[in-house]
């Protein structure tokens, strides 16, 4: 009893500091022990520190003027497992969704690839939903931001598999007041920066297909967790998210990852298209087969396919790679013309291709070209096409 009285006899500021470092379960126990500790545990600093410690959320709290206790007990306690990156199931198209805490709300933001063809541009961000306290703080509202009528009710539920299902409760709010054609034109300008009249017929068909699928599924879909790979040692370029050109399908997002033995790397699609959908492997890279080519050998695709490219010695990768010149072959289609002229490594690789609806998938030969820590390319030899990939540099707290 004496030690208990001695502890409670500490200055209130010190007691609050001690309580503020306790985990949530212990704070709850402290609240039940005595009135004085109940009052201390009710202080906003305690709950602000809890949020910082448990969710590694710091700078995002500096401008918030509401109740941190309400945010923790009414929002984060229920929805804390939703923080981070998710992939919405949108048919073959997939997607990337970032859920974060801002201004006392959980915000779900769709992360779209930049407008084709500039892979160096930032992701385009659009709010999809928010989870927030109602005006009178009596309940938690889940609001959908899709459509043209402003925020409207929706709800979120957890599935048995541990995934999340998002469901809008007012699909009529997604409709354009002037009809489907106006809705498509509005979406098209947002997606491409161009009007429908500026596209050739096949380009319009691909975009119309994407519009119909994504708007139809935009009211209800499952979310699957996306895990960013950890940093690696002894690799030519760090793994992570990249933006890359995919011809008429525009810019797509892929996840570059290394297999455990580091003899192979793969590029998995986070967003996809009707040919090679999201979650399929786009690039298969053989790290045991680096190569060095002269500028003259790179003059045309036909020349590249005719020459016998010798493999470098086994100990070349990753420590003995040397910078070499690079050029896009003259007979190769290049969608984006800001490609570097030197690279730090070049490897034999395969890219996956398929017909519509992922029919008859196959691998076609290519070269994986690493320019620097944030940029690589893929030369599709048989397709006579070059794709450039740039790292996603946005931070996902």
Q: What is the mean pLDDT of residues 188-215?
A: 79
Yes or no: say if 234 and 262 are a contact pair by the CB < 8 Å rule: yes
- What is the phi-psi region of residue 240: left when phi exceeds 0, alpha when psi lies from -120 to 50, beta otherwise? left
Asked which of 223, 258, 287 is the last residue of a domain, the reply is 223
Q: What are phi and psi of 76, to 5 degrees?
A: -65, -35
Would you give the DSSP letter of residue 149?
S
- Model's pTM, two decimal places? 0.90
CA distance 378 to 372: 14
The three-point CA angle 92-394-71 to 5° equals: 95
307 and 370, same domain (yes or no): yes
134 C-beta neighbours (distance < 10 Å), count: 10
34 and 134, same domain (yes or no): no
CA distance 197 to 94: 27
Yes or no: say if 342 and 294 are a contact pair by the CB < 8 Å rule: no
Domain assignment present for residue 74? The answer is no
89 and 55, same domain (yes or no): no
pLDDT at 280: 99
7 C-beta neighbours (distance < 10 Å), count: 11
pLDDT at 7: 67
Report how far apart, in Å, the C-alpha atoms of 263 and of each of 129, 232, 322 are: 41, 13, 19
- Domain of residue 322: give its range: 240-391
Asked which of 43, 68, 93 is the last residue of a domain, the reply is 68
Sequence length of the chain is 397
Domain assignment present for residue 311? The answer is yes
Q: Which of 64-68, 292-296, 370-374 has the lowest mean pLDDT?
A: 64-68
133 and 198, same domain (yes or no): yes
> Taking 60 as the threshold, does the pLDDT of residue 4 lie above it?
no
> Taking 90 as the threshold, does the pLDDT of residue 92 lie above it?
yes
44 and 107, same domain (yes or no): no
26 and 87, same domain (yes or no): no
Q: What are phi and psi of 11, to 5 degrees?
A: -55, 145
**What are the b/e assignments for 328-344, b being 16+ CB within 10 Å?**
bbeebebbbeebeeebb
> Taking 80 as the threshold, does the pLDDT of residue 311 lie above it?
no
Domain assignment present for residue 73? The answer is no
217 and 269, same domain (yes or no): no
The pLDDT-based confidence of 218 (bands split at 50, 70, 90) is confident
Domain assignment present for residue 152? The answer is yes
Which range, 72-81, 114-123, 170-179, is most confident?
114-123
For residue range 10-62, list pLDDT tens digits in order. Answer: 776 777 777 777 777 777 677 667 776 767 767 787 888 888 888 877 666 66
Instruction: Say which residue the tokens 């541990």 belong to.
Output: 162
Domain assignment present for residue 76? The answer is no
Q: What are phi and psi of 228, to 5 degrees?
A: -75, 135
- Please state, rounded to an integer, the average pLDDT across all residues of the chain: 89
CA distance 85 to 96: 7
63 and 87, same domain (yes or no): no
117 and 192, same domain (yes or no): yes
Q: Is the dihedral of CA 89, 90, 91, 93 positive or negative?
A: negative
Q: What percent of the chain has pLDDT above 70?
A: 92
User: What interhelical angle do 24-31 and 44-55 show, nearest 10?
Assistant: 160
Q: What percent of the chain has pLDDT above 90?
A: 59
Is the bond preceding 215 in cis, omega lying within 30 degrees of 0? Answer: no
CA distance 296 to 385: 18
CA distance 108 to 54: 20
64 and 88, same domain (yes or no): no
88 and 209, same domain (yes or no): yes
pLDDT at 58: 64
Domain count of the fold of the chain: 3
130 and 211, same domain (yes or no): yes
């Amino acid at each position: 009893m004496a030690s208990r009285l001695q502890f409670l006899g500490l200055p209130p500021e010190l007691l609050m500091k001690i309580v503020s470092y306790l985990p949530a379960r212990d704070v709850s126990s402290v609240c039940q022990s005595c009135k004085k500790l109940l009052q201390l545990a009710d202080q906003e600093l305690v709950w602000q520190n809890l949020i910082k410690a448990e969710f590694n959320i710091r700078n995002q709290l500096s401008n918030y003027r509401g109740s941190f206790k309400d945010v923790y007990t009414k929002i984060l306690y229920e929805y804390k497992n939703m923080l981070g990156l998710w992939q919405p199931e949108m048919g073959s198209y997939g997607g990337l969704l970032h859920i974060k805490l801002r201004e006392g709300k959980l915000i779900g933001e769709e992360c779209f690839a930049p407008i084709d063809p500039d892979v160096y541009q930032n992701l385009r961000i659009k709010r999809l939903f928010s989870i927030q306290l109602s005006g009178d703080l009596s309940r938690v509202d889940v609001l959908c931001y899709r459509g043209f009528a402003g925020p409207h009710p929706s709800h979120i539920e957890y599935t048995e598999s541990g995934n999340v299902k998002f469901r809008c409760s007012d699909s009529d709010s997604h409709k354009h007041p002037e009809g489907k054609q106006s809705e498509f034109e509005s979406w098209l300008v947002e997606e491409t920066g161009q009007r429908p009249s500026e596209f050739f017929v096949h380009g319009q068909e691909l975009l119309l297909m994407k519009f119909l699928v994504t708007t139809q599924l935009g009211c209800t879909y499952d979310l699957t967790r996306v895990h960013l790979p950890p940093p690696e040692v002894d690799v030519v370029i760090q793994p992570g998210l990249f933006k890359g050109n995919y011809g008429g399908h525009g810019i797509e997002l892929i996840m570059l990852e290394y297999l455990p033995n580091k003899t192979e790397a793969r590029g998995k699609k986070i967003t996809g298209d009707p040919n090679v959908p999201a979650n399929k492997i786009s690039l298969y890279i053989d790290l045991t087969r680096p190569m060095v080519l002269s500028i003259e050998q790179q003059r045309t695709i036909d020349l590249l396919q005719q020459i016998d490219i010798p493999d470098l010695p086994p100990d070349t990768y990753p420590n003995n790679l040397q910078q070499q010149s690079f050029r896009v072959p003259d007979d190769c289609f290049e969608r984006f013309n800001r490609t570097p002229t030197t690279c730090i490594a070049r490897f034999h690789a395969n890219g996956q291709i398929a017909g519509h609806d992922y029919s008859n998938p196959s691998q076609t030969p290519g070269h994986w070209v690493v320019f620097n820590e944030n940029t690589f390319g893929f030369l599709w030899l048989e397709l006579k096409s070059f794709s450039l990939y740039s790292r996603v540099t946005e931070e996902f707290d």
